[in-house]
Structure 1
Amino acid sequence: MRLLEAAGSHSGGAPAKQLAREAGLPLPTAYHLLRTLTHEGYLRREGGVFVLGAAAGRLAGGGLQQKRRTMIRDSLAHFRDAVGAPVYFAVYREGEIEVVGVSDTPGSPACEEWADFRATGFAHAIGQCLLGQLDESGRRDYYDRHPVEAITPYTVRDLRALENRIGALGRMQPVIERQEYALGTVCAAIPITAGDTAATMAISLPLHQEDRLLYVVDRLRSEVGALLSTLSFSISI
């Protein structure tokens, strides 16, 4: 790793002796490791100097993904503790609903995904909030692949009723859903502006705590504003 760091600090590459010196390694050890790193694709030898190879780029990409996951996990845990409820973060990516992260506690568990979240966006607050951020053709594309159907007695009746509900939503208005996806559960989702990506933060509560729903979602909105840059970065990478 020290050899890779040394090579990465020279945009035009560096010879083995210089890399060994900068990494604090004996020259024979450095030669052996450089040959191994070159064979594995982490380095390339060009004109007597070593430069980073394609495998090193993939390693860096993996680091970014790990950083993304860590930032999302820590942010969601902060929101969960601040509002006292399970918190969800989801985006609409490549035509599908993607729940990027969920944070809950044993005493306040998240809603069980008993029906595929991706295919039932019409029934839960997360999906309705994301669909409300799409244009008409984008929503129609989703409905063509995932037709509206009742999955509980409280699910929106049909496509026309769903479109009427979405059309009545204000631009940054939270979406409230009561037992439409899971019996005994109420949910709320707020839209998040992150460039061109439709995103949402959501919370869920057991039905007997419904009187807390509006307070919790208002608290979530105030908390999200402080960490919006973190979420936007997480979406972008």
Structure 2
Amino acid sequence: MALNEPAESHHSVQEAQRVLDVVARHPAGITDAELGRLLGLRVRRLTTLLRMLRREGYVLRLPDGAYAVGDAFTRLTAADGREQALREKLQRTLDRLRQDVGAAVYLSRYVDGEVSVTQYAAGPEAPAVNEWVDFRSAAHASAVGKSLLRQLDGDGRRDHLSRHRMPRLTSRTITSERLLLSHLEAQPPTSPVLDIQEYAVGTVCAAVPLSTGGRVNSLALSMPVSQAHRLRVAADRLHREAAPVLLSMSIAS
């Protein structure tokens, strides 16, 4: 059972979806002035939303200045090929995030009681973490796992831990169920979860929650410990940039 979502990102997604709903009802196009009037949004806020929606390909600006739905929106709402379209769209977004935050980026889900990393973006200057222990068995130690567990209710967390041992992967790994549950409960629901060499020596990670439509998801990053001084800034940026990922999943759901 999911608890909380990043309030700011979730609110932005709700507003963006409202904009898209109105634009979709006007196939010939609608002006920003009409959008603002119909939605009751301030000019500055609407401009920010439209800029994001144009960048993501969900709306396009017609020669007369009006706005209409874009190809990305059409593909994500089509009857056929929606799943593949979503995967391709998310991958492009992850690739951009990798460049923006200067770290490997991961998208994960908690499905059927297990942690699953569904997509990631990495490169020579942003190497992926070495999965030396299956992430499904390391939720207690990884930022990805802890972020997903944080979004479950107490029963869900305890159920997961009852099915998975908590081995010590590094000297920093929490191996006490009581202590881990206490840390998860104390973690502010919208703040990034950190992993400071708890999963793997030489690697630091951060993850933010991305629940949508009853699904528990997480967006995470990893970087070498030599760059640990950048972790919190990168995590905050990842959090701010989570809205496009959440929006893509919401449109396709």
TM over 0.5: yes
2:126 to 108, 114, 123: 108
Give me the whole-angstrom Cα distance separating, in 2, the residues matched to 1:86 and 1:142: 27
Pairwise mapping of residues 5-154 of structure 1 onto structure 2 (< 5 A)?
A: 63-154=81-172
Q: Is 2:170–2:201's contact at 8 Å kept on the other side of the alignment?
A: yes
1:165 aligns with 2:208: no
Q: Does 1:187 align with 2:209?
A: no
| 2:97 partner letter | F
Residues 87, 203 of structure 1: 8 Å contact kept:
yes
| One-letter amino acid of the structure 2 residue matched with residue 206 of structure 1 | P
Shift of 1:226: 4.0
Aligned-residue offset at 1:145:
1.2
Q: Which runs of 5+ in 1 are unaligned?
A: 1-59
- Whether the 8 Å CA contact 1:190–1:201 is kept in 2: the answer is yes
Measured in 1, the distance between the counterparts of 2:240 and 2:161 equals 32
Shift in alpha-carbon separation, 1:227–1:142, aligned structure 2, 3 A = closer
Percent sequence identity over aligned pairs: 39
Partner SS, residue 228 of structure 1: helix
* Count of aligned pairs between the two proteins: 176
CA deviation digits over 1:2-55, x for unaligned, max 9? xxxxxxxxxxxxxxxxxxxxxxxxxxxxxxxxxxxxxxxxxxxxxxxxxxxxxx
Q: Which runs of 5+ in 2 are unaligned?
A: 1-77
The answer to whether residue 202 in structure 2 is matched with residue 223 in structure 1 is no
Distance 1:226 1:232, change over 3 A: same
Partner of 1:50: none
CA–CA distance in structure 1, aligned partners of residues 251 and 149 of structure 2: 22
Counterpart of 2:228 in structure 1 is 210
1:186 match: secondary structure: strand
What amino acid maps onto 1:214 in structure 2? R
Greater shift in the superposed pair: 119-128 or 139-148: 139-148
**d(CA) in 2 for partners of 1:125 and 1:99?**
12
Alignment check: 8 A CA contact 1:79 1:87 kept:
yes
Give the one of 190, 214, 217 matched to 1:199: 217
For the Cα contact (< 8 Å) 2:192–2:239, is it kept in 1? Answer: no
- 2:117 is matched by which residue type in structure 1? V
Contact (CA 8 Å) 2:140, 2:146: kept in 1 or not?
yes
CA RMSD of aligned residues (A): 1.7
Say which structure, 1 or 2, has more relative contact order (CA 8 Å, 6+ apart): 2
In the alignment, the residues of structure 2 paired with residue 104 and residue 217 of structure 1 have an alpha-carbon distance, to the nearest angstrom, of 16
2:81 alignment partner AA? G
Measured in 1, the distance between the counterparts of 2:159 and 2:178 equals 15
Q: Distance in 1 between matches of 2:97 and 2:154?
A: 32
1:193 is displaced (CA, Å) by 2.9
User: Does the Cα contact within 8 Å between 2:109 and 2:215 map onto a contact in 1?
Assistant: yes
- For residues 99 and 249 of structure 2, the distance between their equivalents in structure 1, rounded to whole angstroms, comes to 17
8 Å contact kept, 1:149–1:158: no
In structure 1, C-alpha distance between the alignment counterparts of 2:212 and 2:148, rounded to whole Å:
12
Q: For the residues of structure 2 that align with 1:136 and 1:225, how far apart are their CA atoms?
A: 27
